[in-house]
């Protein structure tokens, strides 16, 4: 590849026009326009950061994988899958192959897991004392950043109903196997601190009230993501 061709390719990759926002209410588009514009202008950097986060997340889940039936592994690493979804959604848009299904899955994942993890870290702060303060803060703030980047997506998708249905179905399935009907083995939600749900002979003890608190947060956020995605579509149509 010639240097001119290489520069042309880089120029196309890093000069993607930023779509203008629709006139949406604050509750579906809470970020200021300058922040949305900035986020979309550095979308390739966000893609790379999320791919790195995905790799770290799978590493973080290695111990839990050892406790779970192999058939359930795709439903175990919730946050890494969410960061993978947004990396793929933004990458597809940057390459001119925007995909509404990826965008909807990314929105649900970033909102749900980005908020659920700080919720659990806050609810069980004392029990998470075994984490180094740096790791605790990394997990807390990096997941909140997922929520922020999720609210960039209304600029690149209209959230078609079919795409929202697929995303809602995927995350409802996660809630089902994580908290209510495991299908194979035991409940599959992200491990809570041993002081909340101890591990005995390789089996997680999903004890009250920790299990119910985590479940309440997850289900509430799935419902919220569904509402916000559909509300965004309605408001875009009205605009």
DSSP H helices, 68-209, are 78-94, 100-123, 133-150, 161-175
Q: Helices 161-175 and 100-123 sit at what angle, rounded to 10 degrees?
A: 30
Q: Looking at residue 14, what is its pLDDT?
A: 60
pTM of the model: 0.92
Residue 216: helix, strand or coil by DSSP?
Answer: helix
Q: Looking at residue 112, what is its pLDDT?
A: 98
Q: Give per-10-residue mean pLDDT for the chain (239 aa).
A: 53 71 94 96 96 96 94 94 98 96 98 98 94 95 97 97 98 97 92 92 90 97 98 94
**Residue 215: exposure state from Cβ atoms within 10 A (0-12, 13-18, ≥19):** middle
Q: Looking at residue 17, what is its pLDDT?
A: 84
The H or E element spanning position 204 is strand 203-204
b/e per residue, 11-44, with b = 16+ CB within 10 A? eeeeebebeeebebeeebbebeeeebbebbeebe
Tell me the two tokens of residue 236. 């875009």
Q: In 3D, which of 207, 138, 198, 149 has the Cα closest to residue 179? A: 207
Q: Looking at residue 16, what is its pLDDT?
A: 75
Dist CA 96 CA 60 (whole Å): 33
**First-to-last C-alpha distance (Å) of the chain:** 45
Q: Give me the phi and psi of 200, to 5 degrees please.
A: -120, 120
CB 105 within 8 A of CB 85: yes
Residues 6 or more apart whose CB falls under 8 angstroms from that of 184 comprise 69, 71, 72
Q: Looking at residue 60, what is its pLDDT?
A: 93
The H or E element spanning position 7 is helix 3-14
């Amino acid at each position: 590849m010639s240097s001119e061709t290489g520069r042309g390719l880089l120029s196309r990759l890093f000069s993607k026009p930023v779509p203008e926002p629709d006139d949406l209410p604050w509750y579906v588009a809470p970020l200021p326009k300058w922040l949305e514009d900035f986020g979309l202008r550095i979308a390739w950097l966000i893609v790379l950061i999320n791919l790195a986060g995905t790799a770290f997340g799978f590493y973080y889940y290695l111990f839990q994988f050892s406790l779970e039936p192999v058939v359930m592994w795709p439903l175990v690493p919730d946050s890494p899958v969410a960061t993978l979804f947004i990396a793929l959604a933004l990458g597809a848009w940057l390459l001119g192959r925007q995909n509404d299904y990826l965008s909807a899955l990314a929105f649900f994942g970033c909102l749900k897991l980005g908020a659920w993890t700080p919720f659990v870290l806050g609810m069980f702060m004392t029990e998470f004392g075994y984490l180094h303060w740096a790791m605790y803060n990394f997990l807390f703030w990096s997941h909140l950043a997922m929520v922020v980047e999720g609210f960039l997506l209304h600029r690149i998708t209209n959230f078609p109903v079919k795409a929202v249905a697929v995303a809602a179905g995927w995350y409802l399935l996660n809630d089902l196997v994580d908290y209510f009907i495991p299908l194979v083995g035991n409940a599959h939600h992200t491990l809570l601190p041993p002081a909340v749900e101890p591990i005995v002979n390789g089996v997680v003890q999903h004890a009250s009230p920790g299990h119910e608190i985590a479940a309440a947060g997850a289900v509430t956020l799935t419902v919220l993501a569904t509402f916000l995605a559909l509300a965004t579509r309605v408001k875009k149509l009205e605009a």
